[in-house]
Amino acid sequence: MADAWSPAQYERFRAEREQPFSDLLDLVQAQPDMRAVDLGCGTGELTLALHRRLDARETLGLDSSAVMLERSAPHAGAGLRFERGDIADFAARDAFDLVFSNAALHWVADHEALLARLTRALRPHGQLAVQVPANFDHPSHATATEVGAELGLAPHPTNVLAPERYAAVLHRLGYAEQHVRLQVYAHRLGSRDDVVEWVKGTLLTDYQRRLEPAAFEEFLRRYRDRLLARLDDTRPFLFTFKRILFRARR
């Protein structure tokens, strides 16, 4: 399947996308000589920030997109390295003091099984820190499902659990402490047109991978027309985005 990720498109809203990462990193408790893994590291810039903030002994950044990882090379070194790999195949055991993932696990199915697998990757007293989007009921996402169906596509899977489900799963997995929250980010974009540009860098990559170029252009045309009609024409435009953040320690 083609790699539809575009670093330039994704980073058009860099400040807005970095805020949840920073909030998640604030939940992590640094320990001496940590060994960390960042699942879904993208271009690696934020992985470098994590590595330096924790003063980690070793950090591994893992991502399935070769296009995104091409941008990570300048950040490697001094204990930080990057590898191409699928989170769905990640199966380390007793290897890390921190398993960290910002805006990536929602692409993976069966989160109860996924969290059990990530837990097995932790050493005793290790930490799990995760941020996932929970905005699938917003018109930006609902409209994509609707237009995709008209073109014969199955909807983008909604793998994310409710916050209370995550709390229950973490408890069942034996974590000694946990913090789970649903947070609404209020992004002030230039106009409602920017919402289209936002999702082109994330959600719509799934539809782009599954459509021929001409069909994807038709998808974008329908999507843009229908979505903009459903959003208030205000400047700046308030794009509300719900996210779930959680951190737990074994």
Residue 39 DSSP SS3: strand
| Mean per-residue pLDDT, 199-211 | 95
Q: What's the confidence (pLDDT) of residue 51?
A: 98
Residue 14 banded pLDDT, cuts 50, 70, 90:
confident
Asked whether the beta carbons of 155 and 142 are under 8 A apart, the reply is: no
Strands 96-102 and 35-39: parallel
CA atoms within 13 A on the CB side of 236: 8
pLDDT category of residue 4 using cuts at 50, 70 and 90 = confident
Are 81 and 25 a contacting pair, CB within 8 Å?
A: no
pLDDT band for 2, please (50, 70, 90 cuts): low
What pLDDT is recorded for position 10? Answer: 78
DSSP at 94: S
pTM: 0.95
Q: Is the separation of the CB atoms in 46 and 72 below 8 Å?
A: no
Q: How much of the chain, in percent, has pLDDT values that exceed 90?
A: 93
* Residue with the larger pLDDT of the pair 1 and 165: 165
**Whole-angstrom Cα Rg for the chain:** 18
Range with the lowest mean pLDDT among 10-19, 123-132, 173-182? 10-19
pLDDT for 100-152, tens place per residue? Answer: 999 999 999 999 999 999 999 999 999 999 999 999 999 999 999 999 999 99
Q: What is the pLDDT of residue 1?
A: 52
33: left (phi over 0), alpha (psi -120 to 50) or beta: left
Structural domains in the chain, CATH included, are 7-249 (3.40.50.150)
Yes or no: say if 97 and 51 are a contact pair by the CB < 8 Å rule. no
pLDDT the model gives residue 62: 98
Residue that wins the pLDDT comparison between 1 and 41: 41
Instruction: Please write the tens of the pLDDT for every residue from 45-102.
Output: 999 999 999 999 999 999 999 999 999 999 999 999 999 999 999 999 999 999 999 9
Amino acid of residue 231: L
| Number of residues in the chain | 250
Please give the Cα distance from 82 to 143 (Å, whole number): 35
Mean predicted lDDT score pLDDT of the chain: 96
